[in-house]
Amino acid sequence: MSEVTPRIAVLVFPGSNDDRDAAWALTALGADVRLVWHADQELPLVDAVVLPGGFSYGDYLRCGAIARFSPAMKAVTAFAGEGGLVLGICNGFQILCEAGLLPGVLRPNASLEFVCADVPVRVERADTPFTTRCEPGQELVIPVKHGEGCYHAPEDLGDDQVVFRYARGANPNGSERDIAGVVNADGHVLGLMPHPEHAVDPLLGPGDGALVLASLVDAARERLYARA
């Protein structure tokens, strides 16, 4: 019997530019992807939501600050409030922080330069819905490409919420405590600066991002079984 196909929404904001890549990668890994326009008031029936990279609303004011108030984000906040799986990549991470769904905030890179590079990222927790296909301590190579990825953590952020860290000496943006990705306290909302959707097809470089997205597809499939 073939596996059932979970549904994953990928949000599209004006200025998103990795939405199609995220949709392609998730589809390649077995998900049925629905693109959701930022002005939509409701999400379709889905098992997970992905906020893609890009420059939503031109990154005006602060990156993610305007996107958080879009109608679709209200629906995402309600979805997350019910324990729904939400993954924010790069600009998606920035939006989740501004929306208060994740702790902290992303600030301009310490170098003030845009960075575009494959970086080694250590998996600190392999027990989240986004990392079950990884080993604890495993080093993944995933590209980053951002101008504002310097993570500022609230003082009380526990290490148990840090899911990804840049490998020693490979912090591309000056993030505090080398943090590359954090999860909410309940463990079902994750944001990260590296782009797993750009590291899925080995033909194009490292394929480690597939471990992250395939973990999400697995978790979404479990949610689908649970609601079936």
Catalytic residue ranges: 90, 195, 197
Identify which of 112, 11, 1 has the alpha carbon closest to the alpha carbon of residue 53: 11
Q: Cβ of residue 64: shortest distance to another protein, in angstroms? A: 10
Q: Which is nearer to another protein, 110 or 116 (CB)?
A: 110
Phi and psi torsions of 179, nearest 5°: -75, 125
**Cβ(44)–Cβ(36) below 8 Å:** yes
Strand partners, 36: 11
Q: Which is nearer to another protein, 128 or 175 (CB)?
A: 175
**Cβ(152)–Cβ(173) below 8 Å:** no
Q: Cβ of residue 56: shortest distance to another protein, in angstroms? A: 14
Q: Which is nearer to another protein, 61 or 204 (CB)?
A: 61
The kind and range of the H/E element at 98 are helix 91-98
- Residue bearing tokens 């750009």: 198
Q: Cβ of residue 17: shortest distance to another protein, in angstroms? A: 24
- Cα–Cα distance between 130 and 111 in angstroms, integer? 29
Displacement of CA 1 from its chain's centroid (Å): 31
Identify which of 114, 121, 100 has the alpha carbon closest to the alpha carbon of residue 150: 114
Check residue 103 and report its DSSP letter. S
Displacement of CA 14 from its chain's centroid (Å): 18
Q: Which is nearer to another protein, 171 or 215 (CB)?
A: 171
Q: Cβ of residue 22: shortest distance to another protein, in angstroms? A: 26
Q: Given the rule CB under 8 A, which residues bind another protein? A: 61-62, 65-66, 69, 98, 104-105, 107-112, 150, 152, 154, 174
Q: Which is nearer to another protein, 61 or 78 (CB)?
A: 61
H helix and E strand count, the chain: 4, 11
Q: Cβ of residue 160: shortest distance to another protein, in angstroms? A: 20
